A and B are shown apart, each in its own frame.
Chain A
Amino acid sequence: MDILVEGVSRIWPGRKGTSVTALQDFSYHFRSGRFTCLLGPSGCGKSTLIQIMGGIEDATSGSVRVVDPAVTSRARPLGRDSVMVWQTLNLFPWRNVLDNVAFGLEMQGMPRAQRHAKARALLVSVGLRGFETHLPGQLSGGMRQRVALARALIMARPIMLMDEPFGALDAQTKIVMQEELLRIFDETRKTIVFVTHAIEEAILLGDEVIVMTARPGRIKEVITVDLPRPRSLELVSTKAFGMLFDRAFHLIREEVMKSLEQQAAMLEEAQ
């Protein structure tokens, strides 16, 4: 499923008639079965963008439409085509692992036995067999992350939107989860949009890396990552990876500096 983002802006009203433009005239054609990373300094509006793409936030102007190029060339408004994996995970703390994963199917009215069977199968595939009756609060960060992934995957929607999902994990767990996600991508070939501020992560995972500018967020440059799949962490030490990293790093360094200046100016204003 392609996602057509056209002229999307988001303006937050501020105090005393001022306003903050988080995102300005963002347009991009996300292609089916591709893994696209949104890379940018904090506050560049990349999270806002992915929320708008998921229909969770409204854009101030512009549109998000989807089209399945294998079926038609007519784009239609965004419906239930995507599912979000959240930075804060947002697991339901009172539901055990099985009922967290089966939540979406329960909402559709699928009978209990059927949805539990599906959830169980998915839990096996993300390595959580035997934890069905645990509560999220009883799990480690990496395990909770897997529950969140399974809960999204069970929806079988063509697009998966991921908003810095591994941001809170420790370095080792993060590596394991990245490899897990690479495997899932190779198996399902969903259209994935992945927000991150980690350059290495963006290049390791993505087919394209959209480098965004500091606020207001726009596209600075799109880097095509033509490294072969299936990928694994060993890729990081290759020369091709190093060159892509350098390129992304130079692009993003300028933006990080700009972002820091903006933050300093805002602090001064506040004083």
Chain B
Amino acid sequence: MKLSARGRRILELTLPALTVVAFVAGWEAFVDLRGIAPIYLPAPSSILEYLLRMIADGSMGFNLGVTLLRIFAGFAVAAVAGVLVGVVMGMSRIAARVADPWIAALYPLPKISLIPLLIIWLGTGETYKIVISAVSAFFPIVISAYSGIRQADQGLIKAAKDLGANRRQVQMKVVIPAAIPSIFAGLHLGMGVTIILVVAAEMIGGSGQSGMGYLLIHAGQVMETEKVFASLVVLAVMGALVIKAQQWIDRRVAPWTALHDGH
């Protein structure tokens, strides 16, 4: 099949959307023709119906809002602590030596295994959800910030010294800005972990009776499969939007990272 450049362009733009439409249509037809019980696999149309109903009665907005608040709270704590500790470790050999055994021991530990202990200590309220997500997100952030500082281009540091920068100026004006791409990479990883842990904590703790995780587990327990799917769709869209927002902030704050060669 021969295509003009224009035709190719149109195809490139429409084909991804068409595959989604085709998939949803196929799903609808499959459920409809085979008469599959909604408990196992609801039709996309009824998922949409449930989703709209949940939006209309406010339950989706409320639970999504609660989950987002917990995510941002956990992430904010992890980001501030992680970047701070990572930068201090990168700049002070003693700090790095002191922190190293702790990080080496705690980083590989699956954070989800801390849930029983945290519930004993903190109960199943907000503190527990924020602490578990912040603790989990802390490690990728601190490690990225530390390595970003350590791996600052020696050539830039030498050049800054040659141009008269003192030790403090080298750190503030060269080492920290040079670490920003790495710090941002850590924040991306941390955000991903925060989302996972907040939703997991909502599923396991459950005393709050709120949040997307609670919505999911509750709908699953009472076999409202349409609600499960509706919640999954909302979670997927939420995750995608949060990541897009982060990328947008990265480009605004550090436009040079998008340029492949800065030297």
Interface of A with B (CB < 8 Å)?
A: 54-56, 80, 83-84, 86, 88-94, 103-104, 106-108, 135-138, 144, 151, 155
Contacts and interface: CB of A to CB of B under 8 A. Distances in A.
A92 B177 CA distance: 9
B34 interface: no
Contact of B254 (A83, A89, A94, A144): A94
B180 interface: yes
Contacts of B163: 83, 103-104, 107, 151, 155
10 contacts: A56-B158, A56-B162, A80-B164, A83-B162, A92-B177, A94-B262, A107-B166, A107-B169, A155-B163, A155-B164
A69 B38 CA distance: 95
A139 to B, nearest CB: 10
B93 interface: no
B160 interface: yes
Contact of B155 (A54, A90, A104, A106): A90
B6 interface: no
Contacts, number: 71
Contacts of A138: 259
A90 B156 contact: yes
A94 B162 contact: no
Given A91-B262, A135-B255, A137-B261, A54 B162 contact: yes
B8 to A, nearest CB: 30
A56 B180 CA distance: 26
Nearest to A108: B164
Contacts of A103: 160, 163, 165, 173
Nearest to A104: B163
A93 B169 contact: no
Given A104-B164, A107-B169, A137 B260 contact: yes
Interface string B251-263: 0001110011111
Contact of A93 (B161, B166, B263): B263
Contacts of B158: 56, 86, 90
A108 B156 CA distance: 18
Which of B159, B164, B260: most chain A Cβ within 10 A?
Answer: B159
A137 B260 CA distance: 7
A94 B254 CA distance: 7
B83 interface: no
A267 to B, nearest CB: 27
A259 B164 CA distance: 36
B149 interface: no
Nearest to B260: A137
B262 A107 contact: no
Interface string B221-256: 000000000000000000000000000000000111
B256 A86 contact: no
B195 interface: no
A90 B174 CA distance: 11
A137 B255 CA distance: 10
Nearest to A141: B261
Nearest to B263: A89
A107 B168 CA distance: 10
Contact of A135 (B165, B173, B177, B256): B256
Contacts of B159: 84, 86, 90
B262 A135 contact: yes
Top 10 nearest A-B pairs by Cβ distance? A93-B262, A137-B259, A90-B159, A104-B163, A137-B262, A90-B155, A107-B164, A93-B256, A107-B165, A94-B256
A83 B80 CA distance: 38
B155 A88 contact: yes
A84 B162 contact: yes
A108 B259 CA distance: 29
A93 B173 CA distance: 12
Contacts of A144: 263
Contacts of A83: 162-163
A152 to B, nearest CB: 8
Interface string B165-197: 110010001100110100000000000000000
